[in-house]
Structure 1
Amino acid sequence: MKDSGINFRHLYYFWVVAKEGGITRAATRLGLAIQTVSTQLGLLEQALGKSLFTQQGRRLVLTEAGRTALSYADQIFLLGEQMQDALGQAETTRTRLTVGISDSLPKPTAFRLLEATMHLAPPVRLVCNEGPFDALLTDLALHKLDLVLTDRPVRSGTPLRVFSHLLLESPTIVVGAAPLAQAYAGDFPRSLDRAPFLLPTRNNVLRGKIDEWFDHHNVRPDVVGEFDDNALLGTFGRRGAGLFFASSMAAADMKKQFGATLVGEVPQLREQCYAISNERKIAHPAVEAIMSAGHQGVLDPA
C-alpha cells in the first residue's frame, strides 16, 4: 500500500488545535508544551505542502485547505472513537444503536418505533440524541449516528450520502385539554374559527399544510404559541394553553396519560415518519427491526 506520507499524530494535533480554536488551548488539552504543538503542526503543513491556518489578529483561522483537512480528520478520529466503543462492546452482551431523533417528530411515534428494538437477541443498548434535522444529518454523515428518525425526507441535491426510507403515514387530529376541547368540538371545523391554537413553527413540514387547511375551511385561528419542539408544544397543549394538531397514532396515549380530548379528525393532513440511513441497504439488526415495525403497521393507533 502506498505510504500517505501523513504522520497521524501530527494530524491529531492539528485536529485538536482546530477544535479548541488555538494552539494554547490545544496544548493544555494535550498536556504538551505550546512549542511542541506548534512544531508538530508546522511539520504537518510541510508534509502536505499546504498552509492549514492563517493568522487573523490573535486568532488562528482555517484556510480552505485546513477546512478540507478538518473534514477528513473528523471522520478519521471519529472512526477511531467508534472502534474503541465497538471493542468495548465486544465484551458485553448488548449491541449499541445510536439514533438521532428530530425535535419535530412526535415522541410517541419515536417510542413505538424504538420499542421494536427492546426484545431482540442479542439485546440492544439504545443511545438517543435529539436535535434539529440538519444537525442530525451532519452527524449521520460523519457516522456519529446509526440512524435518524424524522418527519421529512432528505432534500434532493444534498451533497450528503444519506438515504430516506418512508416508514409510515398517519392522519392528524385536533386535540386539547378536556374543557377547551369540549368548547370547540361542535360543528367541526368551522367551530375552530378564533379558537386558541398552538402550532409548529414555519420550518416544520406540517405547518404549511396546516395553514393551507385553515385557509381552505376559512378558519382564522388565534395562534397562542409556535414551537420548534414538538414535545414542548404538546406539554403546553395538555395544560390547556390551546388546541393543537397531533398524529392519530398518539390519540390513545394522550387520552390515557394526559387527558387530551379529541376535537375533530383531519384526514387530509398526514404526518410522515422517515428513517434516514447512511446506506441504501440496512445491515444493523436493530435498524432492520425499526424498519419492519413501520412497514408492518405495528404503529397503528391502539
Structure 2
Amino acid sequence: MSNLNYKHLHYFWTVAKAGSIARASEQLHLTPQTISGQISLFEEVQGEQLFKKHGRNLELTEAGRLVLGYAEEIFSLGQELEEVLHHRPTERTVQLRVGVSDALPKALAYRLLEPALKLPQTLRINCREGKLESLLADLAMHKIDVVMSDSPMPPTVNVRGFNHLLGQCGISFFATAALRQQYPAAFPACLEAAPLLLPGEDAALRSKLLHWLDAQQLHPRIAGEFDDSALMSAFGQAGAGFFAAPSAIADMVMRQYDLIQVGQTDDIEEQFYAISVQRKLTHPAVLAISRAAQQDLFGNVASNRSSPHNSEG
C-alpha cells in the first residue's frame, strides 16, 4: 500500500472487529460520522472498497479481509512491543507462526514442535491447522512462518517455496490387546479380514498403505476413514480397528492410547517436511525443530539440504 495512514488503519481494524460503525464509535469515543469519513478516506487512498453493507452491519470485501490480516499482525506486534517495553525490558518474545497440515498426525506434530519450547528465549507459538494448499497460501502472504507437512509442496501450487526434509521413517501398526487376541496370526497376516482404520484422502500415508496391502495380498475390512489422526487414534483406543502411524512416535502412541504395537514395516516410508519461503531456514525456533528432528526424532537423514519448489507466485 502507498501512503498508509496508521490511524486510518486502526479505525478500519476496530470497525472490522466490531462489525459496525456504531459499535466502533463507542469503543473509539468518536462520532459515527467521524469514523465513517475516515474509513471512506482510507478506502479512497488505497483505491479499494473494504466494506459492503449487510443489513445494519458491515461485511468485509475480499480486499478488506486481506487488509484485516495485515492489520491484525501490525497491532499484535504493537501490543507485544508495549509488553516488552513495560514488563520485559531485557527479553524479546520469539513468535512462531506455524501451519500444520491436517494430514500430519497430531502426536508427530507435537514431537516436531516440542524442541522449540526448550529455547532459552520466551516463545509464543501460534499454531494453525488446515489443508496444505490453504496453509501454503498463508505462507506466501507471510501470515505464517513455516508449514509442517507429510508431503512436499504439490507441483500444481503457484507459490515460491522450499521443501526442507525433516526426516523419514517406516510405519507401525497398533491395536488394543483385546483386538490383537481376536486376530492372533503373525504380522502382517493378522490384518487379513481384520477391521482397519484408514487416514483420510489428504494423507500421504493412505495411498502407500493401500498399495502395501495389495502387495501383501491382504484384504482387511475398512472400518473407518479419518481426516483427523487424533480421532482415528481414539477409535483405535476404543478397539474399533487396527491403524498405522509413523514408527518415530510408536512409543508415544502406545503410551498415550494404551495400545500395543502389532508390527512394523520399512516398506512404507513416510517423509516429513518444513516448508518455508526461504531457501535456508533462519527462524531460531524452526532451526531448533529441524535439528532435533534430524538428530533425535528420526536420526536417519543424511542431509539437511532443501529442495526448491519451482513454481513462483
Query: For this structure pair, what is the TM-score category when the shorter chain's length is used for normalisation?
Result: 0.7 to 0.9
Moved more, 103-112 or 167-176: 103-112
Alignment partner, residue 234 of structure 2: 235
Alignment partner, residue 40 of structure 1: 38
What is the RMSD computed on CA atoms of the aligned residues? 3.3
Matching residue's letter, 1:245: A
C-alpha displacement of 1:181: 2.2
The answer to whether the 8 A contact 1:141-1:160 is kept is: yes
The answer as to 2:166 corresponding to 1:164 is no
The answer to whether the 8 A contact 1:185-1:264 is kept is: no
Q: Determine which of 77, 81, 84 is the counterpart of 1:82.
A: 77
Q: Partners of 1:139 and 1:243 in 2: how far apart?
A: 35
Alignment partner, residue 117 of structure 1: 116
- Runs (5+) with no aligned partner, structure 2: 301-313
- 1:16-165 mapped onto 2 (5 Å cutoff): 16-18=14-16, 20-28=18-26, 30-55=28-53, 60=58, 67-68=62-63, 70-72=65-67, 74-86=69-81, 88-89=83-84, 91=89, 93=91, 95-98=93-96, 99-120=98-119, 122-127=120-125, 129-134=127-132, 135-165=134-164
Q: Partners of 2:205 and 2:28 in 1: how far apart?
A: 47
Percent identity, aligned pairs only? Answer: 39
C-alpha displacement of 1:108: 3.6
Moved more, 171-180 or 208-217: 208-217
- Runs (5+) with no aligned partner, structure 1: none
Matching residue's letter, 2:121: P
Q: Partners of 1:16 and 1:138 in 2: how far apart?
A: 25
Q: Partners of 1:14 and 1:119 in 2: how far apart?
A: 38
* Shift in alpha-carbon separation, 1:208–1:10, aligned structure 2, 3 A: same
TM (norm. structure 1) is: 0.80
- 1:179-194 mapped onto 2 (5 Å cutoff): 179-194=178-193
TM (norm. structure 2) is: 0.77
- 1:219-230 mapped onto 2 (5 Å cutoff): 219-230=218-229
Q: Partners of 2:213 and 2:259 in 1: how far apart?
A: 21
* Shift in alpha-carbon separation, 1:54–1:254, aligned structure 2, 3 A: closer
The answer to whether the 8 A contact 1:101-1:128 is kept is: no
Q: Partners of 2:277 and 2:47 in 1: how far apart?
A: 33
